[in-house]
Amino acid sequence: MSEDRALAQAAKIVRGSTEPTNKPTIAGFFDEATHTISYVVHDAATSRAAIIDSVLDFDPAAGRIGYASATRIIDYVTERDLRVDWVIETHAHADHLSAAPYLQDRLGGELAIGREIVRVQEVFGKIFNAGTDFQRDGSQFDLLFDDGDTFQIGSLEAVALHVPGHTPADMAYVIGDAAFVGDTIFMPDFGTARTDFPGGDARQLFRSIRRLLSLPGETRLFLCHDYKAPGREFYAWETTVAEQRERNVHVKDGVSEDDFVEMRTNRDRKLAMPELILPSVQVNIRGGRLPDPEDNGVSYIRIPVNAI
């Protein structure tokens, strides 16, 4: 097998991040409505920050958006006088709308996602019958990360890893000794992300997860979702590579790819679609912006019938 340079670079960054001064400071913001965790990651030395996977509140019954989740992040950033360099998405989420452009307007930073978002735009652009004014080239974002791309948050080193499977475009971001793994793996007692959305692939997800789990055992993993788990009464979103390898109920060491694919595929058949999938994807493939208002000044979110 050819050398995985991007992963080697990520492992090097983790191993080099042993001092309190070069570990990122991380705050998780849990959104109970969608079970999503958004993060503010910052470098204590320079006060430079990244926001990962923010949430825009949405009440589907009323068709109304809200800013309470985004405001918590703005308050946190403002109180600490942080300067936001990055507003990053791990993928085009299917269960919540992104607040990335709202936050970017107020706090600055570059809006970034994985390069393969163009494939998600292609698939869902068709499903929503989006016109030619909807560009399927990722131009709604400031930067598209390729596997192995490096970036900085102040003096913290970071690398983007392409980890497809849940969607074709999923990325994980290794920042210092922490990895933000999006929807790949969940807490060890819960397992892994679903792979039944358009473009999802269980075999790919297994390989992406095993790739992440070959980072050093001490790597801190920060998850995008938590749903509790049988016997656990509290939400949790931080674990380590070593814990996952030892205990993850779907992908601990020793589980074969074929066994995982069979389990994942069977389980996905029983899952209902997330309540907000249609609004979320429609907005998130536009970089978190609502579709353009119609001639009455109102934006509409469409529901395709029998299309997914």
Instruction: Give the nearest distance from C-beta 272 to Fe ion in angstroms.
Output: 15
- Closest residue to Fe ion in the complex (CB): 183
Instruction: Give the nearest distance from C-beta 13 to Fe ion in angstroms.
Output: 25
Instruction: Give the nearest distance from C-beta 145 to Fe ion in angstroms.
Output: 17
Instruction: Give the nearest distance from C-beta 140 to Fe ion in angstroms.
Output: 18
Which residues are at the interface with Fe ion (CB under 5 A)? 93, 183
**Buried residues in 59-84 as b, exposed as e (16+ CB within 10 A):** eeeeeebeeebbebbbebbeeeebeb
Q: What is the identity of the amino acid at 214? A: S
Nearest residue (CB) to Fe ion, 13 versus 276:
276
Nearest residue (CB) to Fe ion, 17 versus 208:
208
Nearest residue (CB) to Fe ion, 227 versus 300:
227
Nearest residue (CB) to Fe ion, 95 versus 147:
95
Nearest residue (CB) to Fe ion, 4 versus 275:
275
Instruction: Give the nearest distance from C-beta 281 to Fe ion in angstroms.
Output: 10
Nearest residue (CB) to Fe ion, 193 versus 215:
193
Nearest residue (CB) to Fe ion, 42 versus 93:
93
Q: What is the 3-state secondary structure (H, E, C) of the chain?
A: CCCCHHHHHHHHHHHCCCCHHHCCEEEEEEECCCCEEEEEEEECCCCEEEEECCCEEEECCCCEEECHHHHHHHHHHHHCCCEEEEEECCCCCCCCECCHHHHHHHHCCEEEEECCHHHHHHHHHHHCCCCCCCCCCCCCCCEEECCCCEEEECCEEEEEEECCCCCCCCEEEEECCEEECCCCECCCCCCECCCCCCCCCHHHHHHHHHHHCCCCCCCEEECCECCCECCECCCCCEEEHHHHHHHCCCCCCCCCHHHHHHHHHHHHHCCCCCCCHHHHHHHHCCCCCCCCCCCCCCCCCCCCCCCC
Instruction: Give the nearest distance from C-beta 166 to Fe ion in angstroms.
Output: 6
Nearest residue (CB) to Fe ion, 85 versus 183:
183
Kindly give the interhelix angle for 202-212 and 257-269, rounded to the nearest 10 degrees: 120
Instruction: Give the nearest distance from C-beta 77 to Fe ion in angstroms.
Output: 24
What is the Cα–Cα distance from 97 to 103, expressed in whole angstroms? 13
